[in-house]
Structure 1
Amino acid sequence: MVATTFWLYESGLPVFSPVLALSLVMALAGVVPYVLDRLIAARLPGAWATLVFPAGVVSVEYALASLSPVGNILSSLAATQHDNLPLLQVVSVTGGYGVSFLIAWFAAVCNHLWQDGFAWRRVAPFGAVLALVLAGGSLRLAFAAPAGETVRVAGVSPARSVLETSNRALNGYPSPEQLAGADPDMVRRVFAPVNDSLLAATEREAKAGAKIVVWPEAGGAAREADRQRLIDEIAAIAARTGSYVNAGLIVITGAPPYMRNETVLVDPRGQARWTYEKARPVPGLDPFNPGDGRVPTADTPFGRLANVICFDADFPALMRQAGDVDVMLVPSNDWYGFGAAHTEKAGIRAVENGYSLVRQASNGLAAVFDPHGRTLTSADYFTTTQQTMIAHVPVAGSPTVYARVGDVFAWLCLAAMAALGVAAMRAKRLTVSPSGKRSERTREAIF
């Protein structure tokens, strides 16, 4: 719980807020694998005892990712290995849970070595599995060198000076309701420079050869009455340049909750191919209603495109919903202290599902990942006057086992946890004397 509170502080989140209460509940759930290990492992022989903790870790991670309103943003050990590409390839089969299992298994092996007087036979199964995973991952990377047809993709954000001026002008309207009730002409004047900056950057990059241009989450903004006019301007650029533009928009509405967070993909004919609303608002931070959670797709000459928004990428089930996708677009908006970590986590989704992932993140780190987790390009919002990134992205994805079978590995860990528990109930308890010699006590004696 102390570590979780520090994580909130370090990430720039308001520590004393509803987010803290939710985080502490999740921290308590994180204790469960340790309790299970202490209750069960001592009653199991050899290497079997080392499997209790990793199976428990994956079971809790899966439960939090599936049931909590924050997905796996606080609970994924796999995120710590985002740049260990040989190891990361296993997520194409197991999801991120496979890496979490290996990390927790290593911890359990070390703990049991210390506890049992360095009985090395417990190390062999873990060592063999880890070696197999690393070898397989290295071979997958070696035989999947970047090749084939690519498409030039550009991510653009508003100029920092323009966005900061706009934000200062909106300081007097801290809630969407107040902004919805403000003078419409004033709102148009404040939004116009930001939209113009994005439109100019879009046309510049499209004329330079980008066939797909991605705005960040909430990049552009308009009142409901002005929304179509902004989309018409985007459509005109798309038609002139022959590009696809995925525009992240905030729309101020006249009814509660007075705000909508959406993306619109406009094709080279000027037609809107999708309108998608963010499915997973951040609890306590995003003041709008969730969308229907249906991930949109569009077949194009540059592969099948799909789209989610920012926090949606922290829900593995949502990210594999679209099926066979070649390029996943993830418009995002972060904040200083969290942007880089959030983008690194999103890169794991690319390996899991075998698609390239374009995360244009204003107020953070934007990046493009190929289907094997390689970073093709990145751009830090805080180190440039106008964040722009360009990458040549593979137009074909790399189908994965995980995208087809889903969280089977997590379910196997849940089943293993139950089986280990039953086996422990039937087994004799193994204890360790101060000299390191093992002895037995019957289950009846324990109870």
Structure 2
Amino acid sequence: MMFKAAAVQMCSGVDPARNAETMAELVREAALRGAGYVQTPEMTGAIQRDRSGLRSILRDEANDIVVRKAARLAGELAIYLHVGSTPIALADGKIANRGFLFGPDGAKICEYDKIHMFDVDLENGESWRESAAYHPGATARIADLPFGKLGFSICYDVRFPELFRQQAVAGAEIMSVPAAFTRQTGEAHWEILLRARAIENGLFVVAAAQGGTHEDGRETFGHSMIIDPWGRVLAQAGRTGEEIIIAEIDPLAVHTARAKIPNLKNARSFVLDEVVPAGKGGAAA
């Protein structure tokens, strides 16, 4: 079943209400252009570097403004609306980096919490410790939708190919990669990682991104992309600012790609053996 997928690029600020309105405007336009599945970026509801400032504006899932507006939008527009992620306050004081998928009736189909935490020190002096504030997810998830099986990931998850492989083996035909990649890491790795995940698993990748300089001073890379199972970029946004990209998705292309390169079927288990040569701690021959 062919369908149109849209990736909505944003430059979210610190005010969830304003971000929710921006999201709504872009989602409405994407639906007007024929998209049946619309994905927004990681941290749609707020990008705020200051942890105490972020916590002060957060709500639990039941009261989150982005979640509530997205549910209404999905029902009003009769689309599958995927909030790539938004920060959700948890009872233990930590935050969930949580994505939501809503169906055409406005009901929540499922949610996904980002599994891998971005704890890194970059060469330009940037330092990130997501684990200090965020509670990592522990469950990978696939949604069996009328147009295909959709797998979930968020941003840094893209660097962990085993997450994508397990979902592909379980039947995923489209992988979502909503993100807020830093400018530095995006310039180096964004496109090649997305294309690699598509090629090695023979599936579509839809990646809505944050792009631009945010209110808190953070710079994100943008370049939202939709990629086919052969690794071809079907649609791509620019470096900064709000934008909507749309591509037609044919799930049959997944089966065609996997028939040509049947690596999912050909995978074998193996034993890893480390050899220590004599003279480097090993026994003499």
TM-score by length of 1: 0.49
Q: Aligned residue for 2:214?
A: none
Q: How far apart are 1:328 and its partner, in Å?
A: 0.8
Report 1:121-140 matches (<5 A).
none
Compare CA radii of gyration and give the structure with the larger one.
Answer: 1
Q: Residue type of the partner of 1:357?
A: V
Contact residue 16 and residue 65 of structure 2 kept, 8 A: no
Q: Residue type of the partner of 2:32?
A: K
Secondary structure, aligned partner of 2:75 = helix
Contact residue 9 and residue 224 of structure 2 kept, 8 A: no
Q: Aligned residue for 2:146?
A: 301
Q: Does 1:375 align with 2:221?
A: no
- Normalized per residue, which structure has more strand? 2
Q: Does 1:152 align with 2:13?
A: no
Change (3 A) 1:348 1:253: same
Partner Cα distance (1:206, 1:249) in 2: 21
Q: Aligned residue for 1:266?
A: 102
309, 320, 325: which one aligns with 2:172 = 325
Q: How far apart are 1:246 and its partner, in Å?
A: 0.8
Partner Cα distance (1:150, 1:404) in 2: 25
Q: Residue type of the partner of 2:204?
A: S
110, 131, 137: which one aligns with 1:291 = 137
Structure 2 segments unaligned to the other structure (5+ residues): 47-57, 121-127, 211-219, 279-283
Q: Residue type of the partner of 1:328?
A: M
Contact residue 356 and residue 371 of structure 1 kept, 8 A: yes
Change (3 A) 1:194 1:228: closer
Query: Where in structure 1 do 4 or more consecutive aligned residues deviate above 6 Å?
Result: none
Change (3 A) 1:310 1:403: farther
Partner Cα distance (2:195, 2:74) in 1: 28
Q: How far apart are 1:219 and its partner, in Å?
A: 1.2
Partner Cα distance (1:192, 1:228) in 2: 10
Contact residue 343 and residue 359 of structure 1 kept, 8 A: no
Q: How far apart are 1:404 and its partner, in Å?
A: 4.2
Secondary structure, aligned partner of 2:205 = strand
Partner Cα distance (2:183, 2:64) in 1: 32
Q: Aligned residue for 2:28?
A: 203
Q: Aligned residue for 1:241?
A: 77
Q: Aligned residue for 1:391?
A: 247
Change (3 A) 1:241 1:225: closer
| Cα deviation 1:320-367 (Å, max 9, x = unaligned) | 222111111111111212224223212211111111011112122211
Q: Residue type of the partner of 1:374?
A: R
TM-score by length of 2: 0.75
| Cα deviation 1:29-48 (Å, max 9, x = unaligned) | xxxxxxxxxxxxxxxxxxxx
337, 354, 364: which one aligns with 2:202 = 354
Partner Cα distance (2:29, 2:86) in 1: 20
Contact residue 304 and residue 325 of structure 1 kept, 8 A: yes
Partner Cα distance (1:324, 1:219) in 2: 28
Report 1:61-140 matches (<5 A).
none
Contact residue 370 and residue 394 of structure 1 kept, 8 A: no
Q: How far apart are 1:311 and its partner, in Å?
A: 1.1
Contact residue 279 and residue 291 of structure 1 kept, 8 A: yes
Pairs aligned (count): 240
Q: Aligned residue for 2:181?
A: 334
Partner Cα distance (1:306, 1:251) in 2: 21
Q: Does 1:250 align with 2:106?
A: no
Contact residue 305 and residue 327 of structure 1 kept, 8 A: yes
Change (3 A) 1:307 1:227: farther
Structure 1 segments unaligned to the other structure (5+ residues): 1-148, 168-189, 426-445
Instruction: Report sequence identity in percent.
Output: 24
Q: Residue type of the partner of 1:245?
A: L
Change (3 A) 1:296 1:225: closer
Partner Cα distance (1:353, 1:302) in 2: 18
Q: Aligned residue for 1:402?
A: 263
- Normalized per residue, which structure has more helix? 1
Contact residue 214 and residue 360 of structure 1 kept, 8 A: yes
Partner Cα distance (1:202, 1:313) in 2: 24
Q: Aligned residue for 1:224?
A: 60
Partner Cα distance (1:305, 1:152) in 2: 14
Q: How far apart are 1:403 and its partner, in Å?
A: 3.0
| Cα deviation 1:38-87 (Å, max 9, x = unaligned) | xxxxxxxxxxxxxxxxxxxxxxxxxxxxxxxxxxxxxxxxxxxxxxxxxx
Q: Aligned residue for 1:276?
A: 112
Instruction: Tell me how large the CA RMSD over aligned residues is.
Output: 2.5
